[in-house]
Chain A
C-alpha cells in the first residue's frame, strides 16, 4: 500500500514542479511585459493629460515660472519657462501613476502568499510576478527615461528655435527702422524713443506694455494678462495700438503713430519777437494750401498740435498778430506729411525767445541735439544800425511790430554754443537763417547774406554760420497770404530747402533749389 502512496506523492510532486516551472516564468514574463510597457504608458498618459487633454481633475503644477522682474503685464512665451514647467508637471503625474501601478502589483504579490487554502497555488504566481515586476520596472524606467529625454529634447530645440526666431525678428525690425531712417523722438520729453510703449488694445484693460518687442513675453504676438493679443513689432502692425513714451516720468501719449515714417526735428530759434511763431504758422498754412490743392497731404499728428495750429491759416488770412510764446518748455507740433516720395513726421519746436538768452534755459531744450536742420529767425528791425537807417515815418509805422529783444547775435551765439555743448557736430548739420518781415521792409533781389552783412551789419554772424555749419542758407521771408490761399513764395522756397535733404518732394519748383 505504501508503494501506492510513494508513487502518488512522486506524481503529485512532479505535477507541482511542472506547475512551478510554468507559472513562475510565465508570471514573471507577464509582469515584466506589463511593467515594461505600463510605465512608459503611464508617462505618455500623464504627458497627454498635461499637454493635450488638460482634464479638470489635473492637479496644479508644483513649479511655475515667475514673470521677469520689471516685466510687462503679459504672459510668458510658452518656451520661456512654461514648457519646462509642463515637463516637470508631466514627470510628477507619471510618477504618481507609476507608483499606483507599482502598489497594485506589490499588493497582489503580497496577497498571493496569504491565500488561506490555496497558497501553494498562488505563491508561485506571486514569486514570478515579483521577479517580473523588478525586471519590468527596470526596463520600463529606462524606456520612460528615454521618452522623457525625447520630450526635453523637443522642448529644448523648440526653445532654441524660438529664441533664434525672436532675435532675427527683432534684428529685422531694427534694420527696417534703420533702412527707413526712422529715429523716434518724444515730442514731450525730447528723449530718443528706442521703441514706443503701448497700451493694451482692449478698452476695458488699462495695462501698459513698455517693451513689446520679441522676447520672453512673446515672439510674433504677446498676450496681455487680460487675454488680449498684441503685436510685438512695427512690422506686424504694432503702430496701430495707442503709443506712449516709454521713459519713466514722461509716458506721454504719442498719438502720431511713431515708427511708421522718418521723423524730422526742426527747431526754430532766435530772439523774442523775431517772428518764429509767425514763420511756423506760415509754413503750416502753406502745407494746408498744398493739401487743399491735392498736391500732398499734411495732417496734424496729434490733438495737441491741432489745438495749437488750427488757427494758423486764419491768423495768416486775417493778418492778425500771433500771441507771445510761453516760456515753458515747448512741446513739438507734430505734422504728418505724405508726399510723393513717402511719409515724414515733422516735429516743429517753437520755443520762446527768452529761452535763448541764458545757458540754463537753453540747455533744457534737449531736442536741439536731435535735429539735423535748424532754423534761426532774425527780425531785421531789431538790428539797431538797420533801424536807425529807416526814415522816421517808417520807424513810426513799424515801431509796434519791431522786436525789442537784444541783438540777434546773442540768441545765435547762445544757441550755437549750446548745440555744440550737447555733442552735435555742427559740420554735420544745416542751418537756415531766416530774416523775417520781408513784407514790411521789402524783398530786394540779390544775395541775402551780402544784404545781411552790408545792410544789417551782421558780418560776424554770417561768417560764423557759414564757417561752423555744414550748410547754411539765408532767406528773407514774408508771412503774407496771397489771394489763392498760398503763402508768399519765400515760404515755399524755405520749405523746399528744409525738406530737400530729407527726401521730401514738395510740389514747387524754384530756380536753384532741388528737392
Chain B
C-alpha cells in the first residue's frame, strides 16, 4: 500500500529531477559550442 502511495506521490518530483538533470547535461555538452 505504502509503496503504491510512494510511487504516486514521488512520480512528478522524480520526473522533474530527471528532466532537470538531462537539461543540465545537454547545456554542459553544448557549452563549448555556445561559447
Rounded to whole Å, the gap between the CB of A288 and the closest CB of chain B is 47
Residues of A within 8 A of B8 (CB): 227
**Main DSSP-derived SS at the A contact region:** helix
Q: How many residues of B contact A (CB 8 A)?
A: 21
Asked whether, in the complex, the Cβ of B5 is within 8 Å of the Cβ of A151, the reply is no
1/0 contact string of B8-27 vs chain A (CB within 8 Å):
11100111111011101100
Asked whether, in the complex, the Cβ of B28 is within 8 Å of the Cβ of A83, the reply is no
**Which of A48, A82, A223, A225 is the one whose CB lies under 8 Å from B18?**
A48
Could you write out 10 A-B pairs with CB less than 8 Å apart? Answer: A44-B25, A54-B7, A54-B14, A75-B6, A83-B13, A86-B17, A150-B25, A151-B21, A154-B17, A227-B5
- The verdict on A52 contacting B24 (CB below 8 Å), with A225-B2, A227-B5 known, is no
Asked whether, in the complex, the Cβ of A223 is within 8 Å of the Cβ of B17, the reply is no
Asked whether, in the complex, the Cβ of A75 is within 8 Å of the Cβ of B24, the reply is no
Q: Report if A147 contacts B (CB, 8 A).
A: yes
Residues of A within 8 A of B21 (CB): 47, 147, 150-151, 154
Q: Report if A164 contacts B (CB, 8 A).
A: no
Assembly CA distance A51 to B14 (angstroms):
5
Rounded to whole Å, the gap between the CB of A206 and the closest CB of chain B is 14
Asked whether, in the complex, the Cβ of A75 is within 8 Å of the Cβ of B13, the reply is no
Which of B6, B7, B17, B18 counts the most A-chain CB atoms under 10 A from its CB? B17
Asked whether, in the complex, the Cβ of A153 is within 8 Å of the Cβ of B4, the reply is no
Asked whether, in the complex, the Cβ of B9 is within 8 Å of the Cβ of A75, the reply is yes
Residues of B within 8 A of A78 (CB): 9-10, 13-14
Asked whether, in the complex, the Cβ of B17 is within 8 Å of the Cβ of A155, the reply is yes
Which of A64-83 touch B at CB < 8 Å?
75, 78-79, 82-83
A/B pair count, beta carbons within 8 Å = 61
Residues of B within 8 A of A158 (CB): 16-17, 20
**Which of B5, B9, B18 is the one whose CB lies under 8 Å from A47?**
B18
Residues of B within 8 A of A86 (CB): 10, 14, 17
Assembly CA distance A78 to B22 (angstroms):
19
- The verdict on A151 contacting B17 (CB below 8 Å), with A75-B5, A223-B5, A225-B5 known, is yes
Assembly CA distance A227 to B8 (angstroms):
9
Residues of B within 8 A of A50 (CB): 14
Asked whether, in the complex, the Cβ of A51 is within 8 Å of the Cβ of B18, the reply is yes
Which of A78, A155, A223 counts the most B-chain CB atoms under 10 A from its CB? A78
Q: Report if A390 contacts B (CB, 8 A).
A: no
Residues of A within 8 A of B18 (CB): 47-48, 51-52
Residues of A within 8 A of B6 (CB): 75, 82
Rounded to whole Å, the gap between the CB of B28 and the closest CB of chain A is 7
Assembly CA distance A83 to B10 (angstroms):
9
Residues of B within 8 A of A443 (CB): none
Q: Which 3 A-B pairs have the closest CB atoms?
A: A51-B18, A78-B13, A51-B14
Assembly CA distance A78 to B17 (angstroms):
10
Asked whether, in the complex, the Cβ of A51 is within 8 Å of the Cβ of B17, the reply is yes
Q: Report if A171 contacts B (CB, 8 A).
A: no
Rounded to whole Å, the gap between the CB of A175 and the closest CB of chain B is 28
Asked whether, in the complex, the Cβ of A227 is within 8 Å of the Cβ of B14, the reply is no
